[in-house]
Structure 1
């Protein structure tokens, strides 16, 4: 397992932040920042899977590759499945990595960390998490918690994902970061499954895989990428880049 196809789902229909992929961040559209981080990870070609010609044009103007997908998809997983069939119809890539299009500061090492668990043939899906270091984050339902059992090094096996504060008792809590490395067969299986009971209850798509018996392993990373969902998030991102630059 040496290479993955990195697919970045991107859509315009964000109600809280209209035209989110094209928002200017330090002179480049946000989606281009994400694409550059994906390319820097060096695990394989990166392609934006979009639903609007304007996104495609912005990516191509920056020298990247994008494919048009249906505007009717209900999830990023469905979008990357369509993109996979368009970009790689012959099945050259055994691993498909889903990188969210609203994480312009994700570190290349974090992308690689999601890919690494698939070195174990027993693992269907790899993903990442980071330790929650604030009391606010421990109780915030928007911080999705990964409940895991440790394996070796920074690798863990996922037992559950929840918006609740879990597990109880002393010890660290971990925030799940929605970067997924799927075996091709696992992605093909996943998109055929109906939404599962716990997925519907928690509003967490990854629970569908666990409920169907798939194995998800989670790498612990040091950094947590900033999701961009509101105008306030955009201003925080710009301020952070100005400080760093």
Structure 2
């Protein structure tokens, strides 16, 4: 089976226009993401999906592959689906273009799980260490069953610990592996009721009966949302490189 990593790189971020081109230690951010995905042992091809010529040229300059997509997509999933319609592949991994510290081992584990579960979407979770994060609606939580299939995603604290037992809470990480057929079907489905309430598009999959496997990782996403985040990322890279 051919596995393709796709990195959506939209230009017009409301809080940070041109974000994929932001310089991080002498390289555009999209290049850092691309190189970490390319280092995966199980990804056969890596593609940057963009809507802007400047990003396209930057990717070509560092030797990457790029596919131009519409400027009108509302979600990253829609952008992924357009790329899927244009290239060959069986499993497509959506890697956030604003996470230059993405852990290659986490990508590998997601793909390995996807190959073992070829009809399932696969995503990831990491343990939350403090209750402030558990209660933060900007941090999406996930619960899964004993077979590591997602039961629910929420901005709320789930589960609610009425019994006061010792329990782990998990943050959902925004990386997904899709079988070709599933991503193609997914973007044609109407928004679901729970998706509209929580503003979480993965709930559309659950509400329509799709399986989502959830792997656990120690990696915690460090994304770039605003220009001030660049320094934070550079400080971490200075320690790890």
TM-score by length of 2: 0.94
The corresponding residue for 2:21 is 22
Alpha-carbon distance change, 168 to 17 in structure 1, aligned in 2, over 3 angstroms = same
Q: When the two structures are aligned, how many residues end up with a matched partner?
A: 236
Encode CA deviations 1:163-218: one digit per residue, 9 max, x unaligned: 00111223101111111100111111101101111111101010000000000000
The corresponding residue for 1:178 is 174
Q: Is the counterpart of residue 115 in structure 1 residue 107 in structure 2?
A: no
Q: Is the counterpart of residue 66 in structure 1 residue 66 in structure 2?
A: yes
Q: Is the counterpart of residue 221 in structure 1 residue 220 in structure 2?
A: no
SS in 1 for 2:149: strand
Deviates more, 1:29-38 or 1:132-141: 132-141
Equivalent residues in 2 for 1:75-224, closer than 5 Å? 75-88=75-88, 93-121=89-117, 123-151=119-147, 156-169=148-161, 170-224=166-220
In the alignment, the residues of structure 1 paired with residue 115 and residue 27 of structure 2 have an alpha-carbon distance, to the nearest angstrom, of 35
Q: Is the counterpart of residue 237 in structure 1 residue 237 in structure 2?
A: no
Q: Is the counterpart of residue 7 in structure 1 residue 20 in structure 2?
A: no
Q: Runs of 5+ in structure 2 lacking a partner?
A: none
SS in 1 for 2:225: coil
In the alignment, the residues of structure 2 paired with residue 114 and residue 122 of structure 1 have an alpha-carbon distance, to the nearest angstrom, of 12
Q: What is the Cα deviation at residue 143 of structure 1?
A: 1.2
In the alignment, the residues of structure 2 paired with residue 149 and residue 233 of structure 1 have an alpha-carbon distance, to the nearest angstrom, of 35
Q: What is the Cα deviation at residue 48 of structure 1?
A: 0.2
Please tell me whether the aligned partners of residues 124 and 215 of structure 1 are also in contact (alpha carbons under 8 angstroms): yes
In the alignment, the residues of structure 2 paired with residue 163 and residue 85 of structure 1 have an alpha-carbon distance, to the nearest angstrom, of 32
Please tell me whether the aligned partners of residues 113 and 127 of structure 1 are also in contact (alpha carbons under 8 angstroms): no
Encode CA deviations 1:12-52: one digit per residue, 9 max, x unaligned: 11111121000000110001111011101132100000000
In the alignment, the residues of structure 1 paired with residue 12 and residue 209 of structure 2 have an alpha-carbon distance, to the nearest angstrom, of 32
In the alignment, the residues of structure 1 paired with residue 216 and residue 119 of structure 2 have an alpha-carbon distance, to the nearest angstrom, of 16
In the alignment, the residues of structure 2 paired with residue 123 and residue 72 of structure 1 have an alpha-carbon distance, to the nearest angstrom, of 29
In the alignment, the residues of structure 2 paired with residue 150 and residue 113 of structure 1 have an alpha-carbon distance, to the nearest angstrom, of 18
Once superposed, what is the RMSD of the aligned Cα atoms? 1.3
The corresponding residue for 2:49 is 49
